[in-house]
């Protein structure tokens, strides 16, 4: 019988808080901040350090994504947004790969959501509470990111085009207005769930391979390497789609 796995969840009058997600989001933010700070600590034109070279490459990469979707006169302010999203999502995707920290519990714990029924189902193995994971393997995190992005998209559309911004929601005919609304609702859902689905599936497979013991060592090593590729691609796709959505909404009548 395999031991049960659980995440530390605090229930505050029906409002559930996943402690592991909160901790890993905080750790991801700290890592991104430290990397960014170290990269610009000793700026040099003649002898740039490795982190500075990496950051300059990343800025150029994000600038290329922005330039491929909109005129740089309008797109330049969004480079920082793209860079932040790229770093946060990539680090968030990677942070759950190297190791897993957990604690064993053989007694019910209301604070961590461990019930007597769960202890009984473990058949003496106890409940393994996992404290570390990729924050992007939590749908609440990826959907929050997606909602934030869509809010920024519409804010900039309204700011740059004013009342004209709302005209295209009634084009080519007013009857299409509900369809445009459905499209806008679907954007954050698909954007967030795509990222969540890919990272969550990868972590489930990693857990399965770890549970396979010695037989899963080689597949685990191979999948860890592939997960780095998947995590990078998902960060790229998220930023690319963000810039596509922004470019669609900040266009004025002349651009159309």
**Can you tell me whether residue 70 is helix, strand or coil?**
coil
Is the residue at 96 inside a domain? Answer: yes
pLDDT in tens, 79-112: 999 999 999 999 999 988 765 665 555 555 655 6
Is the residue at 255 inside a domain? Answer: no
Is the residue at 80 inside a domain? Answer: yes
Q: Domains in the chain: how many in total?
A: 1
Is the residue at 42 inside a domain? Answer: yes
Encoding tokens for residue 115?
A: 């019930």
Sheet (strand 127-130) strand order = 4-6, 127-130, 102-105
Using CB atoms within 10 Å of the CB of residue 64, give its burial: 0 to 12 exposed, 13 to 18 middle, 19+ buried. exposed
The residues that bridge with 244 in the sheet, in sequence order, are none
pLDDT in tens, 40-70: 888 888 888 888 999 999 999 999 999 999 9
Is the residue at 131 inside a domain? Answer: yes
pLDDT in tens, 104-154: 555 556 556 666 565 555 555 556 567 778 899 889 999 999 999 999 999
Mean pLDDT, the chain, integer: 81
Contact 89/195 with Cβ under 8 angstroms? yes
CA dihedral over 118, 122, 124, 125, signed as positive or negative: negative
Residue 241: name the closest of 155, 135, 141, 152 by CA.
152
**Can you tell me whether residue 114 is helix, strand or coil?**
strand
* Mean predicted confidence (pLDDT) in 1-6: 51
Is the residue at 198 inside a domain? Answer: yes
Is the residue at 256 inside a domain? Answer: no
The b/e string for 76-98 (b: 16+ C-beta within 10 A; e otherwise) is eebbebbbebbbbbbbbbbbbbe
Range of the domain at 156: 4-250
* Mean predicted confidence (pLDDT) in 147-164: 89
Is the residue at 109 inside a domain? Answer: yes
């Amino acid at each position: 019988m395999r031991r049960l796995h659980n995440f530390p969840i605090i229930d505050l009058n029906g409002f559930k808080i996943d402690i592991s997600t909160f901790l890993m989001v905080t750790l991801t933010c700290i890592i991104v901040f430290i990397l960014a700070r170290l990269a610009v600590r000793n700026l040099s034109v003649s002898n740039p350090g490795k982190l500075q070279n990496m950051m300059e490459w990343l800025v150029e990469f994000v600038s290329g994504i922005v330039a491929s979707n909109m005129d740089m006169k309008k797109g330049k302010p969004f480079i920082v947004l793209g860079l932040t999203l790229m770093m946060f999502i990539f680090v968030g995707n990677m942070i759950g790969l190297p190791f897993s920290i957990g604690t064993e519990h053989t007694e019910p714990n209301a604070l961590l959501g461990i019930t007597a029924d769960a202890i009984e189902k473990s058949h003496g193995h106890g409940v393994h509470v996992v404290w570390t994971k990729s924050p992007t393997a939590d749908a609440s995190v990826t959907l929050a990111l997606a909602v934030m992005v869509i809010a920024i998209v519409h804010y900039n559309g309204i700011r740059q085009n004013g009342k004209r911004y709302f005209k295209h929601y009634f084009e080519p005919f007013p009857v299409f207005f509900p369809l445009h609304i459905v499209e806008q609702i679907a954007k954050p859902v698909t954007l967030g769930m795509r990222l969540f689905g890919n990272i969550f599936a990868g972590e489930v497979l990693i857990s399965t391979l770890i549970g396979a013991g010695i037989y899963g060592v080689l597949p685990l090593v191979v999948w860890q390497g592939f997960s780095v590729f998947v995590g990078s691609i998902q960060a790229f796709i998220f930023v690319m789609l963000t810039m596509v959505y922004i470019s669609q909404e900040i266009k004025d009548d002349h651009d159309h």
